[in-house]
Homo-oligomer: A and B are copies of this chain.
Amino acid sequence: MSAEVRVAVAGASGYAGGELLRLLLGHPTVSIGAVTAHSSAGEPLAAHQPHLLPLADRVLVETSAETLAGHDVVFLALPHGQSHALAAQLPDDVVVVDCGADHRLTDALAWDRFYGGQHPGSWPYGLPELPGGRDALRGARRVAVPGCYPTGASLALAPAVAADLVEPSVVVVAASGTSGAGRAPKPHLLAAQVLGSASAYGVGGVHRHTPEIAQNLSAAAGTAVSVSFTPLLVPMSRGILTTASAPLRAGVDLAAARTVYEKAYADEPFVRVLPEGQWPETSSTVGANTALLQLAVDEVAGRLVVVSAIDNLTKGTAGAAVQCMNLALGLPETTGLPVVGVAP
């Protein structure tokens, strides 16, 4: 790991960009090159990311192919729709890790329905813990980092649908902190609105992460999986607590389900099926690239219920991005990635 990897972060003024930089500062073989932004170009990075003390002297430069040139790895943490054109201008041998949605969906119809316009195509999908998910990422030069909700939901349900523990019809309700909504100031994200309040949004299957969850679970299941997804906004900064359930196949009990999950994640460094009786809390994952899971079988209702906790900015975005960079570069997958949360 002696050779230094030079990385750039586009969108460094936002939350995903800040988390990327936080993690990259702790990565032993990385050196941080350009930090770019658009409307904040020319401003000190510290005005936007005051917690990144070692980068306090950095200045944001304009996001462009020129400023991003000359790096081994380019992380894109841009508003949806901006990655495609920019990435096209970067050399093929540069590792481009896109935290945006542009290249996640393989289905052009789903793209059109949820994002609209020309389908920009798909890239290797950055959730190595999905069945077979790691293969396409080793040595990849383009990576689409999953959405935060799809990460929580897919890790919670993929083993169940892959092992046919449940019918391919799942209900996902996920409570998220507000950093997942980004840093652009919007009235409903004001602290005074969010503090003391819980709300749902994108209800009825209209949230853009719905087809991504369905894509992941259908691939895992080998058959189309129906997904009812409802995201909730709750008064915290980070974290997604996902509650996922589906009708149990006949004869599946908790022991069988646990065996499937434990086997599925036995070798995963970042996914942990908790001991029985211990339920995930998002606080345990704050700042860590981990996903914590627990299962229950509701015999009366006949459903498997799985709960997962992640930090939307870490395993849900920037941590996954670094994990994928490691795979792309042939580094040990866990390099530079914390597994200990900052709690309480």
Tell me the A residues contacting B by CB distance below 8 Å. Answer: 15, 18, 22, 25-26, 44, 46-47, 49-54, 56, 169, 171, 173, 175, 177-179, 181, 183, 185-187, 189-201, 203-206, 210, 226-230, 232, 234-241, 243, 245, 272, 274-275, 278-288, 290, 292, 294, 296-303, 305, 307, 309, 338-344
Contact = CB atoms under 8 A, between A and B. Distances in A.
B198 A343 contact: no
A197 B340 contact: no
A216 B202 CA distance: 28
A229 B344 CA distance: 26
A254 B136 CA distance: 42
Given A173-B243, A290-B53, A198 B236 contact: yes
Contact of A239 (B196, B274, B301): B196
A168 B185 CA distance: 42
Contact of A203 (B53, B240, B305, B344): B305
Contact of A340 (B52, B189, B200): B52
> Which of A205, A238, A303, A343 has the most chain B CB within a 10 Å cutoff?
A343
B185 A186 contact: yes
Contacts of A54: 339-340
Given A198-B234, A227-B301, 7 more contacts: A50-B284, A51-B343, A56-B272, A171-B171, A197-B281, A197-B283, A198-B239
A195 B191 CA distance: 7
Contacts of A206: 296
User: How many copies of this chain?
Assistant: 4
Nearest to A50: B284
Given A53-B272, A189-B191, A287-B287, A199 B241 contact: yes
Contact of A235 (B179, B191, B275, B292): B191
A243 B199 CA distance: 10
A4 to B, nearest CB: 19
Contact of A205 (B25, B186, B229, B299): B299
Given A187-B183, A236-B234, A192 B204 contact: no
B298 A196 contact: no
> Which of A185, A240, A294 has the most chain B CB within a 10 Å cutoff?
A185
A306 to B, nearest CB: 9
A31 to B, nearest CB: 16
A342 B51 contact: yes
Contact of A278 (B46, B198, B298): B46
Contacts of A283: 51, 193, 196-197
